[in-house]
């Protein structure tokens, strides 16, 4: 690996991420198809209305399992720290690319951490309510009131998750040099120092920094 690169995601983590991402797209499309009449045409992508209804929950279970694996591996990186609260208070600086004014960021910034926990919460709600409304296997064993609550929560959690993913995708487009972390597995040291200085210090052990500085910057 080139000296100016740092590994951010191992091959397994990257494949896991993209498996969840692909399943999310399929689930969002098939879910939105039944969410509003204007979107019903999306059922054509899945072989029609009944096939959309049949496939959606199975894809959902696979996504949950794949996501759970990812979430367990990244859980400890996403614990909210005091400096994260300060970061969130300065969201205007975040939006305006004034990173120099923000508290030092570790492996993940507060926005990434919040998104992580929102996704965890949404996935759990989607799985549980999805099982309740799953025709024809589980729905017949629940009361009508339970079904009503479940369909409402399912739609709400999906709404929050889709909004969260729109933000997630935009953030990757906005912060240049980010996408390669998930495609190639590496980021440049300059990128890491700019966006995640505490993380860089941690992996470099705080030593030899001066040497790397000279190496990377000539």
Per CB under 8 A, residues contacting other proteins are 33-40, 43, 48-50, 52-53, 95-97, 99-100, 133, 135-136, 139-140, 144-145, 147-149, 151-152, 155, 159, 162-163, 166-167, 170, 173-177, 188, 190-191, 193-195, 209-210, 213, 217
Is position 196 annotated as part of the catalytic site? Answer: no
**In whole angstroms, what is the distance from residue 136 CA to residue 212 CA?**
60
Catalytic residue of the set 17, 56, 168, 196: 168
Longest alpha-carbon distance in the chain: 69
**Comparison of 70 and 177: residue with beta carbon closer to other proteins:** 177
Q: State the nearest-atom distance from the C-beta of 216 to other proteins, in Å.
A: 8
**Comparison of 113 and 168: residue with beta carbon closer to other proteins:** 168
Q: State the nearest-atom distance from the C-beta of 131 to other proteins, in Å.
A: 13
Type and span of the H or E element at 187: strand 186-188
At 47 the three-state DSSP class reads coil
Structure tokens at 67: 């996501």
**Comparison of 2 and 36: residue with beta carbon closer to other proteins:** 36
Q: State the nearest-atom distance from the C-beta of 135 to other proteins, in Å.
A: 4
Q: Give the residue carrying structure tokens 């990173």.
A: 99
Distances in Å between the Cα of 197 and the Cα atoms of 58, 113, 131 are 41, 16, 42
Residues paired with residue 6 on neighbouring β-strands, in sequence order: 187
At 166 the three-state DSSP class reads helix
Q: State the nearest-atom distance from the C-beta of 33 to other proteins, in Å.
A: 8
**Comparison of 36 and 76: residue with beta carbon closer to other proteins:** 36
**Residue 133 in contact with residue 147, Cβ under 8 Å?**
yes
Catalytic residue numbers read: 168
């Amino acid at each position: 690996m080139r000296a100016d690169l740092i590994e951010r995601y191992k091959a397994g983590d990257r494949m896991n991420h993209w498996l969840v991402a692909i399943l999310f797209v399929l689930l969002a499309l098939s879910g939105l198809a039944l969410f509003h009449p204007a979107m019903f045409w999306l059922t054509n992508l899945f072989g029609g209305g009944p096939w959309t209804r049949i496939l959606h929950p199975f894809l959902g279970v696979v996504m949950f399992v794949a996501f759970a694996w990812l979430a367990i591996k990244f859980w400890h990186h996403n614990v909210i720290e005091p400096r994260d609260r300060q970061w969130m208070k300065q969201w205007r600086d975040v939006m305006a690319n004034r990173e120099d004014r923000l508290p030092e960021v570790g492996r993940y910034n507060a926005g990434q951490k919040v998104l992580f926990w929102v996704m965890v919460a949404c996935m759990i709600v989607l799985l549980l309510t999805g099982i309740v409304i799953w025709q024809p296997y589980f729905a017949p064993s629940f009361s009508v009131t339970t079904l009503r609550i479940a369909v409402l929560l399912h739609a709400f959690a999906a709404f929050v998750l889709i909004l969260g993913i729109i933000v997630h995708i935009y953030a990757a487009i906005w912060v240049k040099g980010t996408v390669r972390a998930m495609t190639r597995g590496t980021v440049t040291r300059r990128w890491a120092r700019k966006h995640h200085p505490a993380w860089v210090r941690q992996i470099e052990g705080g030593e030899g920094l001066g040497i790397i500085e000279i190496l990377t910057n000539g």
